[in-house]
Structure 1
Amino acid sequence: MSVSPQTKGADVPVNQASARVAVVGSLNMDLVARAPRLPQPGETLAGRTFAQVPGGKGGNQAVAAARLGAQVAMIGCVGGDANGAQLRAGLEAERIDCAALEISTSAPTGVALIIVDDGSQNSIVIVAGSNGEVTPATIARHEAVLAAAEVVVCQLETPPDSVHAALAAARRLGKTVVLNPAPAVGPLPAAWLALVDYLIPNELEAATLTGLPVRTPDEAAAAAAALRRAGARNVIITLGAQGVLAALGDAAPAHFAAPRVAAVDTTAAGDTFIGGFAAQLAQRAALDVAIRFAQRAAALSVTRAGAQPSIPSRAEVDAS
Structure 2
Amino acid sequence: MYTKEIRKPARLACVGLNVVDCYQNQGKAYPGGNEYNVSIFARRLGAQAAFIGCFGKDFYSGANYALALQAGVDLSRCRHYPEECGMAMVTLEQGDRTFLGSNNGGVTGRHPVRLDEADLRFLEKYDITVSDRYSRMAPAEFAKLAAKGIPLAYDFGDEEPDELTWAVLPHCTVAFFSCSHRKDQEIDDLAQKGLAAGCRAVVMTMGARGARTYARGMDDPVCCAARVGPVLDTMGAGDSFLTAFLVTAIQKFALAPQGSGEWMECMQAGTQFAFENCGFYGSIGYGLPCPQDSEYQNIQFKRR
TM-score category, normalised to shorter length: 0.7 to 0.9
SS at match of 2:282: coil
Residues paired across the two proteins, number: 271
Task: Answer yes or no: is 1:58 the counterpart of 2:35.
Answer: yes
Structure 1 gaps, min length 5:
1-12, 34-46, 205-212, 311-320
Matched residues in 1 for 2:183 and 2:64: separation?
A: 35
Structure 2 matches for 1:117-132, cutoff 5 A?
A: 117-127=93-103, 128-132=105-109
Corresponding letter in the other structure for 2:209: Q
- The equivalent residue for 1:279 is 247
Deviation at 1:53, TM superposition (A): 1.2
1:57-90: CA deviation from partner (whole Å, max 9, x where unpaired): 1111111111112100110001011111100001
Deviation at 1:190, TM superposition (A): 3.4
SS at match of 1:31: strand
Task: Answer yes or no: is 1:174 the counterpart of 2:174.
Answer: no
Structure 2 matches for 1:170-249, cutoff 5 A?
A: 170-182=145-157, 184=159, 186-187=161-162, 188-203=164-179, 214-216=182-184, 219-249=186-216
Structure 2 gaps, min length 5:
254-261, 287-304
Task: Answer yes or no: is 1:299 the counterpart of 2:278.
Answer: no
Deviation at 1:55, TM superposition (A): 0.5
Deviation at 1:278, TM superposition (A): 2.3
Identity value in percent: 22
- Which moves more between the two structures, 194-203 or 222-231? 222-231
1:228-260: CA deviation from partner (whole Å, max 9, x where unpaired): 345443210001121101111131112111121
Corresponding letter in the other structure for 2:16: G
Aligned CA distance change for structure 1 residues 101 and 298 (closer, same or farther; 3 Å): same
Deviation at 1:221, TM superposition (A): 2.6
Corresponding letter in the other structure for 2:7: N
Aligned CA distance change for structure 1 residues 120 and 248 (closer, same or farther; 3 Å): same
> TM-score, normalising length from structure 1?
0.77
Deviation at 1:192, TM superposition (A): 2.2
**Which of 219, 224, 227 lines up with 1:256 in the alignment?**
224
Corresponding letter in the other structure for 1:60: N
- The equivalent residue for 2:59 is 82
Matched residues in 2 for 1:234 and 1:256: separation?
A: 15
- The equivalent residue for 2:79 is 102
**Which of 18, 25, 46 lines up with 2:16 in the alignment?**
25
Deviation at 1:112, TM superposition (A): 1.4
1:186-224: CA deviation from partner (whole Å, max 9, x where unpaired): 4235342221011101016xxxxxxxx7145x5523432
Matched residues in 2 for 1:153 and 1:119: separation?
A: 27
8 Å Cα contact 1:14-1:283 kept in structure 2: no
8 Å Cα contact 1:194-1:233 kept in structure 2: no
Deviation at 1:92, TM superposition (A): 0.8
**Which of 141, 149, 170 lines up with 2:126 in the alignment?**
149
- The equivalent residue for 1:134 is 112
**Which of 268, 280, 286 lines up with 2:236 in the alignment?**
268
Matched residues in 2 for 1:278 and 1:124: separation?
A: 30
8 Å Cα contact 1:73-1:98 kept in structure 2: yes
Deviation at 1:130, TM superposition (A): 1.1
Corresponding letter in the other structure for 1:181: F
Matched residues in 1 for 2:20 and 2:31: separation?
A: 5
Task: Answer yes or no: is 1:15 the counterpart of 2:7.
Answer: yes
